[in-house]
Chains A and B, each alone.
Chain A
């Protein structure tokens, strides 16, 4: 158990809908990262927050947004969903925003868009 929690574990929804994925980092970790894992794209970095502020953006679509709240939990919002958005979404956390800080991954949320 990494100490990072993600809810829900599974999500099935229809095209065009909007969903919210939730992540609680390990106690004491200030950085949260979101990654998408799919068969064709592999593991792709989406976005990073550090202590409530956006730190870096990766291959995140404009239909997707995220935020980190004062209690440090984070939410990833996916809207106007398409079939291609079906993937495993991971949240990771680290103590700080340094490259040496290992990232601890949650169990993921499996999103299926039908």
Chain B
């Protein structure tokens, strides 16, 4: 079974500061990993995905994530936070069998202070 743990249900940063959202996964096979963002009253938007190519993955809106197998981590970062980054972020894992469901973490709410 696969699972994802997001450390910190709420992260608060100042505008211009580094954003770091933590995600650790558990999987018996090499996983596919995703980060999604959800703005208030909206659906989920894909930020980036890892599918066993490059370990450093660049996504939209200046976000990137690094896959570290030794640490079973896939943390999301952005060098400089903008007010518009305030949203909820979800890490998700997908498998390689016939069931390609996404298993989500509980989410991290990012607040950006002016």
Contacts and interface: CB of A to CB of B under 8 A. Distances in A.
B100 A105 contact: no
Interface of A: 2, 4, 31, 33, 35, 42-43, 45, 48, 55-56, 58, 90, 92, 94, 97-108
B45 interface: yes
Contacts of B95: 99
Interface in B44-85: 44-46, 49, 51
A74 B61 CA distance: 31
Contacts of A102: 34, 46, 49
Nearest to A41: B106
Given A99-B32, A102-B34, A108 B43 contact: yes
Contacts of A108: 42-43
Given A90-B43, A105-B45, A45 B103 contact: yes
B44 A45 contact: no
Contact of B102 (A2, A100, A103): A103
Contacts of B106: 42
B104 A42 contact: yes
A48 B100 contact: yes
Most buried by B among A43, A56, A58, A98: A43
Nearest to B42: A107
Contacts of B101: 33, 45, 48, 56, 58
Contacts of A42: 104-107
Given A90-B43, A105-B45, A107-B42, A97 B100 contact: yes
Contact of B100 (A4, A35, A99, A107): A99
Contacts of A94: 100
10 contacts: A2-B45, A45-B102, A45-B103, A55-B99, A55-B100, A56-B100, A101-B100, A102-B46, A105-B43, A106-B43
A108 to B, nearest CB: 5
Contact of A55 (B36, B98, B104): B98
Nearest to B46: A102
B55 to A, nearest CB: 16
